Amino acid sequence: MKANNSTFIDLGLRLNGKKILFADRNIGAKNITDYGKHFAWADVAVRNKKKKPFNWRNCPHHKGDTWRGPFSKYNEVDGKNTLDSEDDIASILLGKDWRMPDKEELNLLQKSKNVKSKWVTNYQNSGINGLLVTGKGEFSSASLFLPAAGDCNGASLNSVGDDGNYWSRSLSDDYPDLAFFLNFYKNGRHLRNGNRFCGFSVRPVRVVAE
């Protein structure tokens, strides 16, 4: 399946009776090894980090300079813990069939028994490091590469080639200033909570009935 120059990859990942199909490239990427763009959680457009740095002052649905907020959306009052489509950069840029993954869906890339994931250096002689996820059994010919695109904090781009950080659309279970993301590097992979202002990569998904 192709849309907006991206192909959905079926690695055999299933959740609650549905197929979890990840796009083959990041939002803003021209090819599978391109880093693509970085987004804060709930960003609705690509930003120029020099003109609009990644910090609390420029955090979507937030006012003030610290984590205390206040937050005008996705807070303890409205009880929203998942991005609406109007705040989901994948849906906004690529269409309604696309969205950012839930924390459970993103976690499949590192935890599912149906795939193998490993850190790779110089993937396909591209000079790019990242996480390679490969299916098993009948899906063994399918693979997904997530470049280690680092992160944006302020106007700085950090840790490119050393780690990858990929947003979910899921808010933290305990704190409205945090949201879940997948973090990986040479010696580890983790589902973590990160400040909503941080500039991370986005890998879209399409979820369809089995």
pLDDT in tens, 11-41: 999 999 999 999 999 999 999 999 999 999 9
CB atoms within 10 A of CB 206: 19
199: DSSP letter:
B
Percentage of residues of the chain with pLDDT beyond 90: 94
- In the chain, at which residue ranges do the beta strands (DSSP E only) sit? 2-3, 6-9, 14-15, 18-23, 115-120, 130-135, 143-147, 151-153, 156-158, 163-171, 178-185, 188-195, 205-209
| The pLDDT of residue 1 is above 60 | no
Q: What is the pTM of this model?
A: 0.96
pLDDT confidence band for 3 (50 / 70 / 90)? very low
pLDDT in tens, 54-96: 999 999 999 999 998 899 999 999 999 999 999 999 999 999 9
Assigned token pair, 133: 């996820």
- Look up the domain containing 86 and give its range: 2-209
Number of domains present in the structure of the chain: 1
Question: What's the confidence (pLDDT) of residue 210?
Answer: 83
Question: What's the confidence (pLDDT) of residue 5?
Answer: 64
- In 79-138, at which residue ranges do the beta strands (DSSP E only) sit? 115-120, 130-135
The total number of residues written for the chain in this structure: 210
CA-CA distance, 13 to 5, in Å (whole number)? 22
